[in-house]
Chains A and B, each alone.
Chain A
Amino acid sequence: MSMTKSQRRHAFSAFRYFVLTIWLLIVAFPIFWMVSTSFKPDREWFAWPPVYISENATLQNYLTVWADVSEYATDETGKLETYTQSLQRPWEALGNSALISVISTTLTVLFGSVLAYGVSRYGILSEGRMFQLLMLRMVPPIVLIAPISIWYSALGLLDSITGLVMLYFLTTLPYAVWMSKSFIDEVPREMEQAAEILGASRMRTIWEVVLPLVRSGLVATFLFILILTWSEYLLALLLSKTEVVTLPVELSKYQGSTEGRVYGRQAALSVGITLPLIVVGLMIRKHLARGFSFGMVRR
């Protein structure tokens, strides 16, 4: 039996929604599990059959992790509790993470976009060089860790905020250049020339004509790189784990030979790590929609 054109269209549309729904469930499940676990009392962390939504929901995990409030009646050992309270410093880690990622991302986007402008308008880097820049990112960071450790220890940069900022700046710069270049390329050269012939200086032209047009793109670039540095684990773990601890490293401490697996606490911390990014994303969502669709909305 053959379908009419509109039936076919409906069938296809239904199929598409079906596939997308499955996909959504797959990607959303870990997030759901993280949030759900963060409210579970310890008995339910490992329970089988699994508890999807706890009937004994508690804020204890959050209080223990973030407010250092002890638990009262649990069947966990006192040793674990003492350890959790004495060694973990989530607020300090949050501060470090915020400082490091905001500084390095700001620097990266600033330098990256200036570099991208030069590439876009003056061709200061050839296409080959631009590709090499991206190739830098193809090197697995772990192979660089030995030389970097040696130099960092010699320069006194191990376990320091400056050390991580420098490293994040360098490793994310290629992304910043590539992304912001694509936005700058979209601004017609004639628009700048029109400003110039009307008497605007180069800086004035960039400030008044180019920047407003690429602002959304730069904001999108900023968020992208902020996510990268905010969640970076490997370099942070290897270059600084005692003094300057970042949130991803902090998170890893909730699983170990001495601590056991304190899933609920870890989930509570995870939620805390994720929330700031969501908040930032919501704050700039107007720019994101425009930034990621720039070029498609040309008049």
Chain B
Amino acid sequence: MSRIELVNLRKEYGNVVAVNSMDLTIEDGEFIVFVGPSGCGKTTTLRMIAGFEDPTAGDIRINGEVVNEKEPGDRDLGMVFQSHALFPHKNVADNIAFGLRMKKVPKDEQARKVQEVSELVRITHLLGKMPAQCSGGESQRIALARTLVTEPSNFLLDEPLSSLDAKLRRELRAECDRLHDELQKTFVYVTHDQEEAMTLADRIVVMNQGKIVQMGSPMEIYSNPVSYFVADFFGNPAMNLVEGEFVAGANGLEFHSSQFNIPLPGKFKDATPGKGSLGIRPENVTIGETGGGASINSEIELVEPLGKDTLLYFGTDADRPFVAVVEGTQEVKRHANVDVGFPDDAIFLFDANGDRIR
């Protein structure tokens, strides 16, 4: 049973507040992902859990025990670094055995465990090589093995895949998922990549400016963002977010922007008029269908076929073009005028502060 608790955790560097009074409980076996833009405090939080940074205030508890004063090596943690941080002067087998040697595990048991873990992450063919002879993906697998072999109950992973190319990243992402499944240990994973967060996490912690903005399962965060920031951060292609104004019209509230004006669904009738923005996910925008909500007639300015899907761009002269996703099989022509529909239940409204209007 292992549980990591952050209680009122705070970190300041001079006048800069990197982590602002954070409370979080990470349950045993959970795969939790800290995600946010760079400088949001996610890595600082991870480094405080690891023991490389001392909190300015607050406690870190692991298995119920306050570990603030404990050395990193005594916290029952394993950590994988963005830079792999393999020891360049030791061969792969010695790298992996390092933690076992520090824990004074007998020699023959060391060898057995190194072999075991190398099979688990499929690097047995690399054991005799030096780290410099291994590719980026291999290095990251070795770093994983070096951490796994000491059998900690919690794994900290600091942007472990960000130095790899897209294909390897996908491959190792699946590997992380498989390992978590197999080991049933707690994984705390930091990334700035929303896709990694979506695919890996049991629970996502979205951070911005040192604070937790939203916490929840990937689908919760995707379908129910609490703010403009979260809505904008998750999803690819990103949510259409149009700046404008809520205006009281004849038949209830309307949304006016430089691109279009539409009436808003009845559920927003009590919202305060004023500046704000309207959001709708590209895959929820309907093309050429009517019914179920407001619609406008607009010209398709750009067509981007991606195979399975096709992206349609409207209003490309605005700061952010308005994007719709349709099935790849659907016949669409550039410069054609189509009906662009806004289904009632797909519309998100955010006030001038970026908070969600419900």
**Chain A interface residues toward B at CB < 8 A:** 188, 190-191, 193-201, 204, 208-209, 212-213, 299
Contact = CB atoms under 8 A, between A and B. Distances in A.
B89 A213 contact: yes
25 contacts: A191-B85, A193-B72, A193-B81, A194-B79, A194-B85, A194-B86, A194-B146, A195-B98, A195-B102, A196-B71, A196-B72, A197-B75, A197-B77, A197-B78, A198-B146, A198-B150, A199-B103, A199-B150, A200-B98, A201-B73, A208-B87, A208-B98, A212-B89, A213-B88, A299-B88
B99 A198 contact: yes
Interface string B58-89: 00000000000001111101110111011111
B132 interface: yes
Nearest to B77: A197
Contact of A194 (B75, B81, B89, B132): B81
Contact of A197 (B73, B86, B132): B73
A209 B78 CA distance: 18
B355 to A, nearest CB: 38
B72 A188 contact: no
Contact of A188 (B50, B77, B83, B89): B83
B85 A204 contact: no
A77 to B, nearest CB: 63
Given A193-B72, A299-B132, A198 B85 contact: no
Contacts of A193: 50, 52, 72, 79, 81, 85
A192 B83 CA distance: 12
A197 B82 CA distance: 15
Contacts of B147: 198
Nearest to A204: B102
A66 B98 CA distance: 53
A188 B86 CA distance: 10
A195 B52 CA distance: 12
A158 to B, nearest CB: 46
Contact of B98 (A190, A198, A299): A198
A188 B102 contact: no
Contacts of B102: 195, 198-200, 204
Given A195-B98, A197-B79, A199-B103, A190 B73 contact: no
A197 B74 CA distance: 8
Contacts of A194: 79, 81, 85-87, 143, 146
A88 to B, nearest CB: 48
Of the four ranges (under 10, 10 to 19, 20 to 34, 35 or more), the interface on chain B belongs to: 20 to 34
Which of A191, A197, A199, A209: most chain B Cβ within 10 A?
A: A197
Contacts of B74: 199
A164 B99 CA distance: 46
Nearest to A195: B98
Contacts of B72: 193, 196-197
A199 B83 contact: no
Contacts of B89: 212-213
Contacts of A200: 73, 98, 102
Given A196-B71, A198-B99, 11 more contacts: A191-B85, A195-B102, A197-B78, A197-B79, A198-B146, A198-B147, A198-B150, A199-B99, A200-B73, A208-B87, A208-B98
Nearest to B143: A194
B150 A190 contact: no
A151 B332 CA distance: 94
Contacts of B103: 199
A198 to B, nearest CB: 4
Contacts of B50: 193, 197
A196 B72 CA distance: 6
A299 B136 CA distance: 11
A141 B35 CA distance: 58
A10 to B, nearest CB: 35
A294 to B, nearest CB: 12
A191 B52 CA distance: 12
A196 B73 contact: yes
B99 A188 contact: no
B155 to A, nearest CB: 11
Interface in B40-63: 50-52
A171 B147 CA distance: 45
Contacts of B82: 190
B176 to A, nearest CB: 18
Which of B52, B71, B73, B74: most chain A Cβ within 10 A?
A: B73
A136 B83 CA distance: 38
A204 to B, nearest CB: 7
A195 B85 CA distance: 9
A160 B281 CA distance: 84
A209 B89 CA distance: 8
A201 B78 CA distance: 15
Contacts of A212: 89
B81 A199 contact: no
Contacts of B98: 195, 198, 200, 208
Interface string B135-162: 0000000010011001000000000000
B44 to A, nearest CB: 14
A210 to B, nearest CB: 10
B88 to A, nearest CB: 7
Contacts of B71: 196
Which of A198, A208, A209: most chain B Cβ within 10 A?
A: A198
B67 to A, nearest CB: 13
Contact of A191 (B79, B87, B150): B87
A51 B92 CA distance: 61
B138 to A, nearest CB: 13
A195 B143 CA distance: 12
Nearest to B131: A299
Nearest to A215: B89
Given A198-B102, A199-B102, A299-B132, A188 B73 contact: no
